[in-house]
Amino acid sequence: MKTMTCKDLGGPCDLAHHGETADDVISAQDAHLKERVRAGDEAHVPAREDMKGRWRRPRQSLGWYRDVKKRFADLPED
């Protein structure tokens, strides 16, 4: 299990996301951003819009995805 924060993934806060894979933490970040925006947290809106764009244009987002996967791989186990 490894941990990345909302900030590590491009968001504004320090909420920790835990997962066995980079995809786990990316999915947790996506859910977190949706929830925070739904709750009216304006600080998370830009990161949510960025994430929505990545899901819509996955080929264009490969650089971000590869970067997250590499940074995740380099993290120590919790």
In this prediction, residue 64 carries a pLDDT of 92
DSSP β-bridge partners for residue 67: none
Q: Domain containing 16: what range?
A: 2-74
Note whether 77 and 5 are within 8 A (CB).
no
Each residue's pLDDT expressed in tens, for the chain with a length of 78 residues: 999 999 999 999 999 999 999 999 999 999 999 999 999 999 999 999 999 988 888 788 899 999 999 999 999 998
List, in sequence order, the alpha helices (H) in 1-78: 22-38, 45-56, 62-74
Domain count, the chain: 1
In this prediction, residue 55 carries a pLDDT of 80
Cα angle 23-25-28, degrees, rounded to a multiple of 5: 110
As a whole number of angstroms, the distance between CA 70 and CA 23 comes to 12
In this prediction, residue 56 carries a pLDDT of 86
